[in-house]
Structure 1
C-alpha cells in the first residue's frame, strides 16, 4: 500500500471519529433538557405515627352455660335411648324455666367405644355417650338457677360457664372513641416535643377486637352453682394513626 493510500484511510478514520464525537455531544450536551436524578425523586411523607388504646369496663349481660348428659352402658342402643330420655327431660326443664328453644343448641354429641385393654383381644365392654348443649341465659344472675334445674332434671355434666355482652356494638363505639382520643393526645405531645405542627390523620388502622367470653369454673353437683358472680369484662380497641406534619 502506497503512502498516499495510507494517508487517505487515516483521514477517513479521523473524520468518522469526529462525526461520532459530534453525535455524542448532541445527545449528551448541555442543550438537552430533562429531569435530574435528584429532581425525579419524590420526597418521603412526613408523618407522626402513634397507637392509641380505648378500654371500656362493662358488666356482662349474657351467661353461656354448657351442660348435658354423659353415661355409659354395655349396649349401644340402650345407652342412646337413656341419653336421649335424660336430655329430653333436661331440655323440657330448661324451656319450663323460660329459656327459649332458639337459645339452646347442641355443641357436642359423641359416642366412645370402651374396651378392656388388659385383654389380648381388647374386647368391647360398653359405650359412652356425651351430649352437650349450650344455653344462653339472661339475666346472668339466673345462671346458677338454670344449672341447678338442669342437674335436677338429669344433667350430670357442666363443662363450662362464661360471661359476655349480648350486643357489643355500643361499647365498641365508646372504646373506639377513646382510642382515637388517646392517639391524638399522643401525637400532639410528640409534635410539641419536636417543635412541629400536627396535621390531619392520613391513615387509620383499627386493631382491637371484642374479647371472648370469660370462663368461670362451675361444678355439676346440685347446689354448687348458687352464686356465679359475672364480675366485669373489658372491651379494648387499638388504633394506629399516621398524622401529617405541617
Structure 2
C-alpha cells in the first residue's frame, strides 16, 4: 500500500487535544528555561554583596587623650661664604662639624642627626654698573631629634653659640602614642554608646548588638603653661624659654547597632 501526499501531512484538526498539549508543553519549557537563566544572572550579580541591613541606627563618638611629648625635633642651618665654591665648602664643613660636635657632647646620638639639605650658589649683585659677583655661598641644613625634652633649651642655646645661622623648631611628638590612642578609643566608644542609648530611647526602639564599626584618628599639640623649661644657661646667650606643651590624640568612631525586631 502506497502513501499519498495527503497521508504524510499531519491531520491537526482530527487530533486537536494532542496538538494543544504539545503547544502548551513547548510554551512551559520555554518559560522554565527563561526563569532559570534569569535566576542564575541575578545570583551572579549578587556574589560578594552583603545582605542589606534593616532596622539599624548609626552613631558617632569622639574621644581625646593628652600626653606630654617625649621627643623634640629642631632644625639647624649653617651658611658660609667664600671667594669660590671650594673655600665656601671648607668653611661650611668646619662650622657644621664643630656644631655637631657640640650636639653630641650634649648627649645627642649620631643616629638622631640627619642632613636634610646641602646647597651652593654664586652670590650675584645687580647694580647700575651691571652684574657684580660677590663670591659663593654654601648652606647646609640638619635635623636633630632630641629625645630628652628637658635639654631642648640647652640644645637651642648651644646651636646659637656655635655657628648656626638659622634655627627653627622645635616640634614636639610622642614616640609611642599607642596608650593614648587606646584611651581615646575607650572614651569614643563610651560616647557612641551613650548616644545610641539616648537615640534608641527617643525613637522608642531597643538595641540588640553592634553590626558595624569604623574609626579614624587625628591630633595635634596643645599648649601647656605650668612651667618653663629653663631660665638661662649663661655663656653670653640666654637660653630660650621653651614650653613643651601637651600632645592631644583624638579618635572618632562610627558604630552601627542592629535593633530588636
- Per the shorter chain, which TM-score range? 0.7 to 0.9
Aligned-residue CA RMSD in angstroms?
3.7
Consecutive unaligned residues of structure 2, counting only runs of 5 or more, are 1-5, 224-235
| CA deviation map 1:8-39 (0-9, x unaligned) | 9884897897342454367769xx9xxx9xxx
- Residue 42 of structure 2 corresponds to residue 68 of structure 1: no
Paired residues for 1:69-88 under 5 Å:
69-88=78-97
- Residue 160 of structure 2 corresponds to residue 146 of structure 1: no
Consecutive unaligned residues of structure 1, counting only runs of 5 or more, are 215-221
Counterpart residue number, 1:20? 23
Select the residue among 18, 39, 53 that pairs with 1:45.
Answer: 53
Q: Is the Cα contact below 8 Å between 1:164 and 1:213 reproduced in 2? A: no
Counterpart residue number, 1:175? 184
Provide TM-score, normalisation by structure 1.
0.75
Deviation at 1:88, TM superposition (A): 0.6
Select the residue among 226, 241, 245 that pairs with 2:240.
Answer: 226
Select the residue among 249, 252, 255 that pairs with 1:235.
Answer: 249
Q: How many residues align?
A: 227
Q: Distance in 1 between matches of 2:11 and 2:107?
A: 113
Q: Is the Cα contact below 8 Å between 2:221 and 2:246 reproduced in 1? A: no
Paired residues for 1:1-246 under 5 Å:
11=13, 18=20, 19-21=22-24, 23-24=26-27, 44-46=52-54, 47-116=56-125, 125-209=134-218, 211=220, 223=237, 225-246=239-260
Provide TM-score, normalisation by structure 2.
0.71
Deviation at 1:108, TM superposition (A): 1.9
Deviation at 1:74, TM superposition (A): 3.1
| CA deviation map 1:198-246 (0-9, x unaligned) | 12222221211454899xxxxxxx8475201122221111122222222
Cα distance 1:204–1:117, how it changes in 2: closer, same or farther (>3 A)?
A: farther
Structure 1 residue matching 2:197: 3-state secondary structure: helix
Deviation at 1:98, TM superposition (A): 1.7
Q: Is the Cα contact below 8 Å between 1:211 and 1:234 reproduced in 2? A: yes
Q: Is the Cα contact below 8 Å between 1:111 and 1:129 reproduced in 2? A: yes
